[in-house]
Every structure is written in structure tokens, then in C-alpha cells.
Chain A
Amino acid sequence: MSDVALGAPSRRGSILTRGLELLPGLALLLAIGYAGKLTEGAITAWGKAHATPVPNIEYVLWAILYGLVIANVFGIPRIFRAGVATYEFWLKLGIVLLGVRFLLGDVLRLGGTSLVLVAAELAASMLIMTWLGTRFGLRPKLVSLLAIGSSICGVSAIIAARGAIRAREEDVALAMGSILLLGAVSLVLFPVIGHLAGMGDHAYGLWVGLAVDNTAEATAAGAIFSDEAARYAVLAKTTRNATIGFVVLGYALYWAARGEGERIGNKAAFLWAKFPKFVLGFLAISLLATLGAFSQAQSANLASLSRWAFLLTFAGVGLSTDLRALQSQGWRPVAVAVSGMAAIAVLTFVAVVGVEHLGLL
């Protein structure tokens, strides 16, 4: 997940001016997301009216598709860009609000299971990516970036590591492009594999949360499967995101020891600076729900708000995927990313199915 600042306007202005700059893009996100929702409803209604079974394609996929077509066929006029760039913010808001649908006990239990699998996934990702990157002759820092991106949180982990390991801009772009390319592919592949393998919502959600690297794509790949799968995908992915500081710190120390990275003074301050703070919000809302702060109607209301926030996010995922930029990646980083992530997807699939058989989900 990238740390795109809210709107990130290029010049200083009043809060009102900034808000106005965001409006066109926000309206576009809402229009595309809602068009996706209407499409899903129209197809379902058509199937019922004609007594014809039609596959239930979630609005998520439509919203992403519409966004992809608009961005890559027509392009996004400048006036919309600031608002569209807020989609990561809506993702975080949606995740925090989703905390209302988790009791803290579930978070700790599933988070604990996730954490064990995340630890295994982190180790496997770093080993596989390092081995493949070295075999394909990639620059060592590009290998580090790919390992960081594939093991934790995709784009935001790469951004967090960029300064700490003093990576080249070219390597950052290559690593981010590879992660985003695979994120786009995973939106189609993972739900298909999940259905073919007859996975349950919990197992599928956990698998997606472990294997898909960007949080927005992981949430979307979960939501395409089912609402319940999206919940588990978010939980597993958030657990993974929470480890971002430790992994980046490890790589920063590695490169600093070689005189090629940022010198780390206070490690605790470094960890706090890299920690995704919205995880705290998710836990806080989950704690309030556990303490019975909300009635059933209030919980349902907050869960609906979370869905609307995700609707804006998914439209933004499509609008922000530049297929031409993805095509222009060199083949070797993409080959490393594709083979590495395929290996990670297979390993995590086996691990999740194993955990499910042990009755830990």
C-alpha cells in the first residue's frame, strides 16, 4: 500500500482550496464505484427476471475494470488526479471501520494464526526473492526492494525502505511496477483458483492476505470472492503490514553495515515511524465493539460505511493502474517477481490448507 498523502496538492492553500481540489476526483471515484455496484445489481436482476443462472460477479471487479478502461483508454484529466490519489486514504478508513466486525478475541486468535504464517511467509519471500534475484543478476538493492515488497506490504514497504537503504529511483520504480503488475493479475487469478480449489471464505481470505502484496489488491481479491473472505484478507494483510518496520529496519541495518544505507540511531523511533498507524485504529474500533459499545444497528451502520470507503478504493485501484507503465518494465525484474510470487502463492496456499485441516481457522 502506498503512502500517498491525502491529495498531496503541489502548492500550499487553505483547507477549503485543498478540499475543492479533491472534489472532482472524489466524484469520479464515487461514480465509477457506484457504476460497478449498479452493474452487479443489474446482472443479478436480469438473471432473476429471466430465470437464468448468471455468475455473481461482485461490483469490485466491475469498478476496477471501469477504472482501468477509463485510465488507460481515455486517460485521467489533471483536475481529477488529486481526488483519485486519495483512494489509499479510503482504504485505510475502510480497514479501521471494518474493526467493528471483529471481536478482539477473533483478532488475537486469527491474528496469532496469521502471525505464525506471516513469519513463515516473510522468511520464505526473502529467501526466494534473494535467491532468484541473484540468479537473474539483478542489482543487490533491487533484490532487497523486491524482497521487502513481496514479503510485507507491496508499494508502501518499498517506499518506506527507499530512503533507509538509499535505493536508486530506477530500482524503486522497477520494484513497484513489478508488485503492481502482479497485484493486477492476482485480482483475476486468485478468485478463480480459490473457487476451483473449493476453498472456504476463511481459508481463501487468509491466503489472499498472505500472498497478495498490495493491501488494496489483497482487499479487492478477497471482496471479489466474498464479503467474509475480504474480512479475513484484511486481517491477514494488516498483520503483515504491522511487521513493516522490523523488515525495513533489518534491511536498513544490513545496508548501513556496508556503508550504503541510512545510519539508524534510535531503533524504537525508527520502528514507530514506519509502523502503519491505522492498525491502531482498527484495534481501537475492534476493542470498542468487543466491549459492546455499539448496538447491532450501529455496528451495521459502521460496516456499511466501511463498504462505501472500499467502493471508492476499488475504483481508485483501477484508475491508478497504468498498463503502459507496467509494460515498460525490464523483463528480468518482472521474471524474478513473477516466479518468486508464484512460488510464495503456492507455499502460502499449502500452508493455509494445512492450517484449515488442523482446524485452526
Chain B
Amino acid sequence: MSDASRSSAPRLSPDWLATLLAVALAGLAWAGVLPPIVW
């Protein structure tokens, strides 16, 4: 695979990554498997 074709692979932006991680954490909380987080 050439460099050009490899670099054209879609890359998740920090915006999307933060959104997906937050939604995943919310899903874990909803499912009741997120351990208690103490502040």
C-alpha cells in the first residue's frame, strides 16, 4: 500500500472521539456498569 493511499484512510477527529467516548461512558452509566466516580 502506498503512503498516499494509507494517509487517505479516514481519521477520527478529537471532536468525534470525545463525543463517542462520552456516549460510550453514558451507555455504561445507563447499563449500570460504570463504577461510582468520586469527585
Q: Do A and B come from one complex?
A: yes
- What is A's interface to B at a CB cutoff of 8 Å? 3-6, 12, 88-89, 92-93, 95-97, 99-100, 276-278, 280-281, 284-285, 288, 293-294, 297-298, 301-302, 304-305, 307-308
Some 14 contacts from A to B, beta carbons below 8 A apart, are A4-B14, A6-B14, A12-B6, A92-B14, A100-B26, A277-B13, A281-B18, A281-B22, A281-B23, A284-B23, A288-B26, A293-B26, A298-B32, A301-B34
**CB-defined contacts of A280 to chain B, threshold 8 Å:** 19
Interface of B is mostly: helix
- What is B's interface to A at a CB cutoff of 8 Å? 6, 13-23, 25-26, 29-30, 32, 34, 36-39
How far is it, in angstroms, between the C-alpha of A281 and the C-alpha of B12 when the chains are bound?
14
Task: Name the one of B16, B21, B30 contacting A294, with C-beta atoms under 8 angstroms.
Answer: B30
Closest to A307 in B: B39
How far is it, in angstroms, between the C-alpha of A22 and the C-alpha of B2 when the chains are bound?
27
Also in contact, A298 and B18, with CB within 8 A (given A288-B26, A304-B39): no
**Once the chains bind, are A278 and B29 in contact (CB under 8 Å)?**
no
**Once the chains bind, are A278 and B39 in contact (CB under 8 Å)?**
no
Report the minimum CB–CB distance from B3 to chain A (whole Å). 10
**Once the chains bind, are B34 and A92 in contact (CB under 8 Å)?**
no
**CB-defined contacts of B38 to chain A, threshold 8 Å:** 304
How far is it, in angstroms, between the C-alpha of A297 and the C-alpha of B16 when the chains are bound?
26
